[in-house]
Structure 1
Amino acid sequence: MSNVLIFASKSVMREISAWLEALRNERQASEETVEAYERDVRQFMIFLTDYHARPSELDDFADLKPMDLRSFLAARRRDGAGARSLGRGLSGIRSFLRHLEKRGLASSAGAKAMRAPKQTKGLPRPLSVAGALDVTEEADAFSTEPWVGARDVAVLTLLYGCGLRISEALTLRGDALTDEMARSMTIRGKGGKTRLVPLIPAVHEAVATYRRLCPHDLDAGHPLFRGVRGGPLRPQIVQRNMARLRGAFGLPPSATPHALRHSFATHLLAAGGDLRTIQDLLGHASLSTTQAYTAVDADRLLSVYDNAHPRARRKAEVS
């Protein structure tokens, strides 16, 4: 928030602080979302400062026009921002304007009238079954300490074996997964939503091995996964290890930690899992998000058609 000091009045700063607190406490937004929204609104403040040749005041938000927002998005595009970043930026500004509107300080009509930049929706890029098994089973290949190698195996096994996001795995507490007979566990995901995910033997084994070798106290008051010095394990460390594994196994750049979550869903679908169940396991709010995996696994869908459709079966019998 310190950078905003230069670009906004004290009254604007107070409203930004109140808005961010509401996102955390009322909307249960993740810290990553809060940081992204704060950054986007800060960029808008910088733009308005140049636009008006003075720091932003609350009056500047009282009646924002679509033209003002289009000018901001055009400036961001010239700086190299892509459609996804622009869309998220507009979403953050809308959220802040809604906050001001509730307090009678602005209108969000101009922002609502704006269409988000059209985004090209990329398909999920899963690993092959062999690739997913390679990186989860050999995740300790570059570790010099046995407990660090066991930790890396456990983290990647959770991503692939349970379909977790990396943030969900790294926020598990030290007393998680202590019951090796448990068949499932509850995960708190995006927006504070909870879901039940299955626990397979490979996950229990990997976590138990890590727990046995880890030199740090793994209690409920601390994270389960630790860095070398005992602090919380950072996502960048997991991403760096995955990059090394990509090189070792000749995997494409799309083979990231998050790709293991995609692999979890795609491989379940290929084995006969239904979309509704996979939606629940991934914690998707909308089935349309999960449906992206049907485009990835077209071969399986064609096989289902060939085996299930009466005309397809008849043709096969005749031939």
Structure 2
Amino acid sequence: MQLINPNTSERLTLRENHLIDETGKEFELVSGAYRFVEPENYTSNFGFQWNKFGDLQVDTLSGSGITSERFFKATKWTPAQLKGKIVLEAGCGAGRFTSVILNETEAELYSFDYSDSVSANYRMNGPNDRLHLFQASIYEMPFAEDSFDYIFCFGVLQFTPDPISSLQSLIKVLKPGGQLVVDFFPKKGWWTKIHAKYILRPYTSKLSNERLLKVIENNIDWLMKTYRFFSRLGLNRAVNRFLPICDIDNTIPKGLAKEKLRQWVVLDTFNMLSPAFDNPLKMEEVIDTFRKGGLSEIEGEVVPYSGGQNHVSVVRGIK
């Protein structure tokens, strides 16, 4: 794997705990990840949430199995396919999918995030000889073009400033013959943004992470009761979309213990109200970007998982 200085495209070599280019520019290894960006940026909320709640969604810690199920259903890949292959995880968060790759396949995994969630990922999954972690931008990745056999990007695109440019960046580092799979928040019509998170986020995203989390934790119990009341009446879509709480029925695993459920709802609600960017995408525009990027055998579908209760919009393609 050839690593590069993403600003100059110069080759990087390893020297002790640094990656260094021919001019002497160094990128330091900190908490298990090579750092190519400033520690604080527009994704600081994700670094905050995953360093606080990271263990909730990792299958080996939660025991739910939902992340593994989602990964293999969304990608349609098998452990046998990935054996010995070079895989890129674009936007790793705390490492819920990192854990699946390392524990259920024999792939070599390169994983990055723009936020300091890479520190949480390393605590969950490192050290591991098959894991290579980076804090880097999706627009300026430290990888040469045509580097990866498989690339997946889950739960990330909608939170980038320009999702289409993000897709184009991923296509560049995919090998000819390689496979790319992404998921995203779907934009189905004008009513998509008639939703509490789009109405409130311009205000809630400006609160400090600590302040927003405290507000959510102080109100989550009555919000959960209200959500369930309207859900029992069959008014989930009509009324609950205006409540400042995540969609419990369609995003949270079933069968969680009471306190674990509460923590998961707090996490997903924070994730809903804190991002600097939230750009849902039309299935057609993702497919079109794949096509213009030279991908073929493109598939776009809504993939159900966790007993059909949850679902995710997915596009796959081969370069």
Question: Structure 1 length as normaliser, TM-score?
Answer: 0.21
Which of these two proteins has the greater Rg computed from alpha carbons?
1
Q: Which structure carries more helix by proportion?
A: 1
Q: Which structure carries more strand by proportion?
A: 2
Q: Which has the higher contact order (CA 8 A, sep 6+)?
A: 2
